[in-house]
Amino acid sequence: MRAIDPPDCSLARAELRAALLSAGWPPDVIDDAELAFHELYINAWQHAGCQAPAVLVCLRPAVLRVSVCDDCPDLPSPSLPADLYSLSGRGLHLVRALTHRFGVDPAKTGKVAWFELDAAA
């Protein structure tokens, strides 16, 4: 049985923000990174049942890559929500719109959803 409340990702989100601020990234790009990260993290909990998704942040001078890992091998469907009034189903579309590159790769035990943002966005 899955917990009703999603896992808290506020510390990871705050650390991501702090790292990008200290590297001098623009505030609007930082906001996009935080939102995209939050969507991937909550998706790992909500759709893969992962109570503590693993997060990997790689910050190079001009590129940020954030990966969120879960243990469910099912890859997400790229389809749109069934109807315009659905309460969910838009998260990955949002990640795709906010970031420069996005993907989901199979892993030995599950999958890795990731995005990349360029510093000069």
CATH of the domain at 18: 3.30.565.10
Residue 33: inside a domain: yes
Work out the pLDDT band at 3, boundaries 50, 70, 90. low
The pLDDT mean for the chain works out to: 86
Q: Which of 56-60, 92-96, 98-102 bottoms out in mean pLDDT, i.e. has the lowest?
A: 92-96
**Facing residues of 117 across strands?**
64
Of the chain, the end-to-end C-alpha distance in Å amounts to 41
Residue 15: inside a domain: yes
Residue range 42-62: average pLDDT?
Answer: 87
What would the DSSP string read from start to end of 71-112? S--PPPP-PPPSSTT-SSS-HHHHHHHHSSEEEEEEETTEEE
Q: Which of 23-27, 84-88, 90-94, 115-119 bottoms out in mean pLDDT, i.e. has the lowest?
A: 84-88
Structural domain containing residue 71 = 10-118
pLDDT of residue 105: 94
Q: What would the pLDDT profile of 22-42 be if each residue is shown by its tens digit? A: 999 999 999 999 999 999 998
